[in-house]
Amino acid sequence: MQLFGLPWSTLLPLFGGMAVATAILYVLKLRRRSVPVPFAQIWDKVLRDRESSQLFSQLKRWLSFLLQLVLLAALILALGDPRRGEQASSGKNVVVLLDASLSMQATDVAPTRLEAAKAAAKRFVRGLGSDDRAVVVQMDMLPSALSTLTGEPSELESAIDRVRAVDTAADLGRALAFAEDTLQGLPNPEVVLLSDGALTLPNSAPRFPVRRIPVGVSDVNVAITEFTARRYPLDKSRVEVFLEVTNTNDTPAEVELTLLGDGNVIDRSRLQLAASERLPRFFTDISGANRRLEARIQLRGKRDALPADDRGYALMPERRRARVLVVSKGNTYLEAALLLDEYLDVTYIEPASYTPTAGRFDVVIFDNVAFALPSDASSALYLNPPAEGAPVKLGKAIEGFGFDRWNKKHPVLRFLALGDVQVARGHAFSPEKTDEVIGESDAGPILVSGSRAGHSFLTLGFDPRDSDFVLRPAWPLFILGAIDTFVAEETGYLSSYRTGTAFRIPAPSGAETAELTTPRGNTVTVPIKEGRASYFGDQAGYYRLRVSGADPSEHEFAANLADAEESRIKPRAELDIAGKKTSIAVAGTPGVRRRLWAYLLLAVVVVSCVEWWTYHRRVTV
């Protein structure tokens, strides 16, 4: 006999205490109620007849007390979950992988594939043997265990009920790795996979037997597999949209595509897709969308089995006029570049009339001068700053140089061709350690970004007019890109994130956490590190990030699945994992559990019923 529940060291004191309590209650029960009678002598004759059976009555009382102690002992022993020694290691250990990916939201099996899989999983766990143990794992991009490794069907069923659908693909490789870690060293390991087979398959074969319970019957589905949008840099009222529609069927399909801007229909068209075709579409000069952009497709003539991937979401950066202060004695090239963006509110002043309290500006451009920033200004662009007032210490004077290396991934320099810029004269910088050199010649850094006293800056080490930089298309893009970067309106703005990945959302670097509201309305707290809030997104739709504290802000973003493989919902008849075939699992028949504690409890119930009956029939009293 081996205990798998409470140990003897706990059970024995527990039994002792409960036995004492039972004895006290028994004695209290024996206290008789006083009742008056009109003539006690009448009872004497009756009682004389009973005196002969008094001894038997006493014996029955003791038997009753002993019976209660036996009941107590059985109950306490049941807490210990006793089993025979050989039963301890003979059961199977099963990891139940329940696919919760987007394809499991298909409605070809009523109500959904996921619900059908959950029902099948419940049938499976009910059919587990008394010595089998299982753990329920939700399988999507990241596997997550929803129960402990237990043989208790009710706990497993409760865990199955907690599985929820997500808008991501499912990574079988990660799930199998998790299962292998869980089953490491346990006897009779086994993995049971409940899935439609629309999975990201691993390259290595599993070490444990994998059995499968297939789900799903239909493959009729069309999906939006790409959806991005951006504003035109020079006309931010208009939007360019890239969209890809995929027909995952083996037959042609006709799809109606609807674009909505801020909830209003702004475009509707019909697309003809060949069998298994991925059809990319650009929509240019779209107007009418200020913030939210949504695409919807509807399959014509057939029933789409997976409506969840028929929508795409995008969010445009917020449009607002950037206030720019230019401190210059006059620079035609600079003024020309600033004229290209109608969303700039530019103020020009002479250096002589500049004061640090000039007003609230987003960006200050110092042209061949360098002063202290206005207190309300957030950032500054220095063009050929003098030694006094420059944010970065000037190095040696250099001549006849150009951009020999530059950071092509920096938001300001992205998409710029600077390799053939020729500069007559200028200065190299001696940046501090915290500064970032984003452009340099062989003679030293000539373009540096950084931050001073909470104000970000960008400084160029030469006068643009002493170069051919101002004659190139890169010049206005550099100026506008710098301003956009300062006002946090990146040219590389992401109109939507991809579900099943870690979102890294820009957030004020001063805060440590933020509140994120998901498309389903749940609010979670996410950490902020290095100016980015991190969250593993598994739902498509619009999110809202709210940062409170000294620098409160609110930010919206969108997320889409956009995974053509996940949208291929055709159930797989056979599933080979790295060449290893999987077999079909058959749910067992729910049977009587062979655990001893169950029989102990059953015995307690039966004996209690007998005792109750005999007590009220006055047999044992």
Partner 1 sequence: MNLLDRLRRPAPHKPSQKSLDLFDDEFQRKLEMLAIVSRRVFTGRMRAERRSKKKGSGVEFADHRDYVPGDDFRYVDWNVYQRFGRLLVRLYEEEEDLSIYFLIDASASMAFGDGRKFDQARRLCAALAYVGLANLDRVTIAAVSDQVVSRMPTTRGKGRIFKAFQFLSELKPGGHTNLGEALNTFVAQHKRRGLAVLISDLYDPQGFEHGINELRFNKFEPYVLNVFDPRDAQPQLKGDLRLYDCESGEEREVTVTDALLRKMEQALLEYRQGIEHFCTSRQVPYFSAQVDTPFEEVVLDLFRRGGFLR
Q: Are 352 and 368 in contact (CB under 8 A)?
A: no
Burial class (CB in 10 A: 0-12, 13-18, 19+), 454: exposed
CB 14 to partner 1: min, Å:
30
**Cβ-contact 296, 250 below 8 angstroms:** no
Q: Is 510 left (phi over 0), alpha (psi -120 to 50) or beta?
A: alpha
CA distance 96 to 402: 62
71-109 b/e (C-beta count within 10 Å ≥ 16 → b): bbbbbbbbbbbbbeeebeeebbbbbbbbbbbbbbbbbbb
Cβ 605 to partner 1 shortest distance, Å: 24
Shortest CB 617 distance to partner 1, Å: 9
* Candidates 47-55, 388-396, 406-414, 418-426; binding stretch for partner 1 (CB under 8 A): 47-55
Closer Cβ to partner 1, 34 or 332, answer by number? 34
Q: Measured from the CB atom, is 39 or 282 closer to partner 1? A: 39
Positions in 5-34 near partner 1 (CB under 8 A): 30, 32-34
Q: Which is nearer to partner 1, 57 or 90 (CB)?
A: 57
Query: Taking CB under 8 A as the rule, does residue 55 contact partner 1?
Result: no
The smaller minimum CB distance to partner 1, of residues 520 and 618, is found at 618
- Of 35, 55, 352, 453, which lies in the binding site for partner 1, with binding defined by CB under 8 A? 35
- In this chain, which stretch among 12-20, 42-50, 248-256, 507-515 interacts with partner 1, using CB under 8 A? 42-50
Provide DSSP, 519-560: TTS-EEEEEEETTEEEEE----EEEEEEE-SSS-EEEEEEEE
Beta bridge partners of 280: 244
Looking at residues 601 to 620 of the shown chain, list those that interact with partner 1 (rule: CB under 8 A). Answer: 618
Residue 433 or 617 having the CB closest to partner 1: 617
Q: Please identify, using beta-carbon distances, which residue of 534 and 620 lies nearer to partner 1.
A: 620
Minimum distance from residue 43 beta carbon to partner 1 (Å) = 5
CB-wise, 43 or 415, nearer to partner 1? 43
User: Out of 28, 44, 352, 434, which residue is the one contacting partner 1 (CB under 8 A)?
Assistant: 44
Contact assessment for residue 422 and residue 389, using Cβ atoms and an 8 Å cutoff: no
CB of 592 to partner 1, least distance (A): 39
If one asks whether residue 41 binds partner 1 (CB under 8 A), the answer comes out as yes
CB of 607 to partner 1, least distance (A): 21
Question: Pick from 1, 28, 38, 203: which binds partner 1 (CB under 8 A)?
Answer: 38
Q: What is the DSSP letter of 467?
A: B
Give me the least distance between CB of 37 and partner 1, in Å please.
5
Which of these, 417, 426, 416, lies nearest to 466 by C-alpha position?
426
Q: Which of 57, 158, 272, 290 binds partner 1 (CB under 8 A)?
A: 57
- Cα(462)–Cα(382) distance, rounded to whole angstroms? 10
Least Å distance between CB 62 and partner 1?
15
Q: Within a 13 Å sphere around the CA of 79, how many CA atoms are in the beta-carbon half? A: 14
- Of 163, 123, 133, 127, give the one whose Cα is nearest residue 145: 163
For residue 411, give the 3-state DSSP assignment. Answer: coil
First to last CA, the chain: 36
The only residue of 45, 396, 409, 433 in contact with partner 1, by rule CB under 8 A? 45
Give the integer Cα–Cα distance in Å for 327 and 385. 12
Nearer to partner 1, 42 or 586 (CB): 42
Instruction: From 213, 180, 4, 195, select the one nearest 88 (Cα to Cα).
Output: 4
Confirm or reject binding of residue 58 to partner 1 (CB under 8 A): no
In the complex, minimum distance from the CB of residue 40 to partner 1, in angstroms, rounded to a whole number: 4
Pairing of strands 541-547, 553-560: antiparallel
Smallest distance, partner 1 to C-beta of residue 620, A: 10
* Cβ distance to partner 1 smaller for residue 51 or 388: 51
Residue 323 is encoded by which pair of tokens?
Answer: 């206030």
The yes or no reply on residue 46 touching partner 1 (CB under 8 A) is yes
Choice from 1, 28, 40, 352 touching partner 1 (CB under 8 A) = 40
Residues in binding contact with partner 1, number by CB under 8 A:
22
CB of 618 to partner 1, least distance (A): 4
Footprint of partner 1 on this chain (CB under 8 A)? 30, 32-47, 49-50, 57, 618, 621
